[in-house]
Structure 1
């Protein structure tokens, strides 16, 4: 773990979906029933979920992230009509209980052992996050689970990132923000956070004017000395 990266930091903040939780594990759990279109269905579901959050956030017509998750799945099922629509309920139930990436608990504990507090800051609404955290047994590894709900908008709005600062009574300079989503890293960098882009899928970089502080392949790389 880079001591330079953590210098002056007292809080490590994590995006939830895609960073701590594998968003594709819901479809993977029912891959046999979904059939050969499982991968594109899951990709479309995730893409539309995010697109809807940006559209509703920018237009000022906030909707809960769960309602957007449902709407995104409906679009994906319409896009791939060969998938049995009766799976909708099972897929949504699986999304409520997504798998955490295997390195997550130990990484959170290691950061706390080094004196940092740990928190989730997510577009997910409170009920979604509470169930996901409980299902993955992550509650004991976190100091707070924060939803953007109070801001009535989504990341990348500065109001969403400010929630973490307000909750802990600190400035942006005291926060390390970790996300697998490059757009989220751009928003967090613009807000003033130090950022760790968890580039799990080896995606090409973008937003050159809003670079991450570091790029890592998985969260446990935070524990490797620089």
Structure 2
């Protein structure tokens, strides 16, 4: 594995990594669905978006989420829309603010990289009082592709005017870290919704027990 250097920019995945999906789960429960359905619907949403990208087409995150809800539940279109609206009520996990502050205090630029709908990240960061710690929020809707497509990570690095090897991607999803590393970024994984990093992938450059550990490990890399 090529030795990694201290990144100039650290990009964070958003859904689950930074923002808690609890409001979406609550909206599903209010609609009469079990809490457990969120995991299935979220996974099917990703499957829909990934397949579209691989097949050479594209769809918005909200549309993929609606399609997943229609496949997994009997909710009518209007009710599905209300559940999707709950994405604008997300808040950061408690460990997010100290992690972002640690990076910015060290002079590292912080950005977010999502394939979610524009506005969702901004609303969540504002609600959590951490928007000022984030230099830029990026949605791959602008390039009409979903992570883990290589082009998304290269577009993000270019948008931040850094070489891919000087950008890190922190995510609680193994597939996202894999995509980032294959594009030349430094990958950092920690468990949030996943218990372990998939053994079938290239191992992450950085693996930690939690978000704080992932940030500390990135800051410990040589300049």
Tell me, yes or no, whether TM beats 0.5.
yes
Alpha-carbon offset, residue 125 of structure 1: 2.7
Tell me the TM-score normalized by structure 1.
0.84
- Contact 2:91–2:125, Cα closer than 8 Å, also in 1: no
1-structure distance, mates of 2:61, 2:33? 28
Alpha-carbon offset, residue 45 of structure 1: 1.3
- Contact 1:12–1:118, Cα closer than 8 Å, also in 2: yes
> Pick from 10, 13, 16: which aligns with 1:12?
10
Listed one character per residue, the Cα deviations across residues 146-203 of structure 1 (whole Å, up to 9, x for unaligned) are: 1112221111111100122111211111112101111111111111111111212452
Matched, 1:63 2:59: yes
Alpha-carbon offset, residue 61 of structure 1: 1.7
Matches within 5 A, 1:179-190: 179-190=171-182
- Contact 1:202–1:217, Cα closer than 8 Å, also in 2: no
In structure 2, runs of 5+ residues without a counterpart are none
- Structure 1 residues 202 and 49, CA gap change in structure 2 (3 angstroms): closer
Matches within 5 A, 1:1-226: 7-28=5-26, 31=29, 33=30, 37-39=34-36, 41-78=37-74, 87-201=79-193, 203-206=195-198, 208-224=200-216
In angstroms, what is the RMSD of aligned CA positions?
A: 2.5
Residues paired across the two proteins, number: 216
Q: Which moved more, 1:174-183 or 1:126-135?
A: 126-135
In structure 1, runs of 5+ residues without a counterpart are none
